[in-house]
Structure 1
Amino acid sequence: MFHLYEKAILGMALLRILSGSLEIIVALMFLKYNNLEKALMLNSSLALVGPIILITTTTIGLFGIAEKISFAKLFWVFGGVACILYGVKSQ
């Protein structure tokens, strides 16, 4: 079944499944602990994981289309990701 998908697509999908699973697990931990301080701590740790997943999935996708896209467009994509990360960076 997995041989039907491109390697880049499969890698990106698996990372997003992992990321979504972490979100669900942390939400269940919120309910289990029923403690606001712990919930904030867990939520902050998710804020660190999100950008890492974003960068990794984008990198996998860009490597997958590297031969099909010009260097200038590749630069713009990386610049856009950098702007997103700068925009969500906490002070």
Structure 2
Amino acid sequence: MFQFLEKAIIGMAILRLISGSIEIFVAFLFIKFNNIEKALMINSSLALIGPIILIVTTTIGLVGMADKISYVKLLWIFGGVACILYGVRSG
């Protein structure tokens, strides 16, 4: 009936649930303040949380499968994450 879930999967899922809950909370703040300037300020601060969740979730996943992946592939993955973060940074 119950399947064993890996700790890495549970950690990743919890982080994504927290991230999604924060996004929903921010949407309610938009509606509450009903002000475009405040909404943009809140949205900008939310933009800091996304990359942090991405990095932590990816790290948990990679640690969970570290014994199954080569160091070269690990470097490629971290390089890909770095490219994503560089591509979405402002400025």
In the superposition, the TM-score normalised over structure 1's length comes to 0.95
- Counterparts of 1:1-91 in structure 2, within 5 Å, are 4-91=4-91
Tell me the CA shift for residue 4 of structure 1.
Answer: 2.2
Alpha-carbon offset, residue 3 of structure 1: 7.5
Q: Which runs of 5+ in 2 are unaligned?
A: none
What number of residue pairs does the alignment pair up?
90
Gaps of 5+ in 1: none
C-alpha distance after superposition, 1:53-80 (max 9, x if no partner) = 0000000000000000000000000000
Question: In 2, Cα distance between the equivalents of 1:55 and 1:32?
Answer: 30
Give the superposition deviation at 1:17.
Answer: 0.2
Tell me the TM-score normalized by structure 2: 0.95
Mapped partners of 2:74, 2:85: distance in 1: 17
Extract structure 1 runs of 4+ deviating beyond 3 A.
none
